[in-house]
Amino acid sequence: MKVAVAGAGVMGAGIALSSIQAGYQTLLFDVSETALEKGKAYIRKELEKSVEKGKTTTDKASQTLTLLTAVNKTADMKADIIIEAVLENLEIKQELFKQLETVNSPETILATNTSSIPITQIARSLQYPNRVVGVHFFNPAHIMKLVEIISGAETDCNVAQKAFEWAESLGKKAVYAADAPGFIVNRVARHYYVEGLKILEEQVANLESIDRLCEASGFKMGPFRLMDLIGVDTNYSVTSSMFSLFGNDAKFRPSRIQKQKVDAGHHGRKSGQGFYRYED
127 and 212 inside one domain: no
71 and 93 inside one domain: yes
The predicted pLDDT at position 167 comes to 98
Closest-CA residue to 42 (of 270, 279, 277): 270
For residue 276, being part of any structural domain is answered with no
CA atoms within 13 A on the CB side of 56: 17
Tally of domains in the chain: 2
Tell me the three state secondary structure of residue 278: coil
99 and 152 inside one domain: yes
pLDDT digits (tens, 9 = 90+) for 46-83: 999 999 999 999 999 999 999 999 999 999 999 999 99
30 and 147 inside one domain: yes
For residue 254, being part of any structural domain is answered with yes
Mean pLDDT of 251-268: 96
**DSSP class of 249:** -
How many Å apart are CA 122 and CA 96, to the nearest integer?
Answer: 10
For residue 278, being part of any structural domain is answered with no
CATH number of the domain within which 214 lies: 1.10.1040.50
111 and 215 inside one domain: no
28 and 118 inside one domain: yes
12 and 146 inside one domain: yes
pLDDT digits (tens, 9 = 90+) for 140-155: 899 999 999 999 999 9
The predicted pLDDT at position 279 comes to 83
23 and 147 inside one domain: yes
How many Å apart are CA 217 and CA 197, to the nearest integer?
Answer: 18
88 and 127 inside one domain: yes
Tell me the three state secondary structure of residue 247: coil
For residue 182, being part of any structural domain is answered with no
pLDDT digits (tens, 9 = 90+) for 269-279: 989 999 999 98
pLDDT digits (tens, 9 = 90+) for 8-44: 999 999 999 999 999 999 999 999 999 999 999 999 9
Residue 7 near residue 36, CB atoms below 8 Å: no
Q: What pTM did the predictor assign?
A: 0.88
For residue 184, being part of any structural domain is answered with no
Residue at a domain's end among 177, 203, 233: 177
**What is the DSSP secondary-structure string of 14-65?**
HHHHHHHHTT-EEEEE-S-HHHHHHHHHHHHHHHHHHHHTTSS-HHHHHHHH
Strand partners, 176: 149
The predicted pLDDT at position 116 comes to 87
**DSSP class of 275:** S
**What is the DSSP secondary-structure string of 117-161?**
S-HHHHHTTSS-GGGEEEEE--SSTTT--EEEEEE-TT--HHHHH
Q: Check pLDDT > 80 for residue 280.
A: no
Low-confidence winner among 129-133, 162-166, 242-246 (lowest mean pLDDT): 242-246
pLDDT digits (tens, 9 = 90+) for 187-227: 999 999 999 999 999 999 999 999 999 999 999 999 999 99
Q: pLDDT above 70 covers what percent of the chain?
A: 100
114 and 241 inside one domain: no
- For residue 211, give its domain range: 189-270
Residue at a domain's end among 147, 177, 207: 177
Question: Which string of b and e fits 246-265 if b means at least 16 CB within 10 Å?
Answer: eeeeeebebbeebeebbeee
**Catalytic (active-site) positions:** 115, 136, 148, 186
pLDDT digits (tens, 9 = 90+) for 100-141: 999 999 999 999 999 889 999 999 999 999 999 999 999 889
For residue 113, being part of any structural domain is answered with yes
Residue at a domain's end among 177, 212, 240: 177
132 and 36 inside one domain: yes
136 and 197 inside one domain: no
Q: In terms of C-beta density within 10 A (0-12 exposed, 13-18 middle, 19 or more buried), how is residue 60 classed? A: middle
CATH number of the domain within which 49 lies: 3.40.50.720
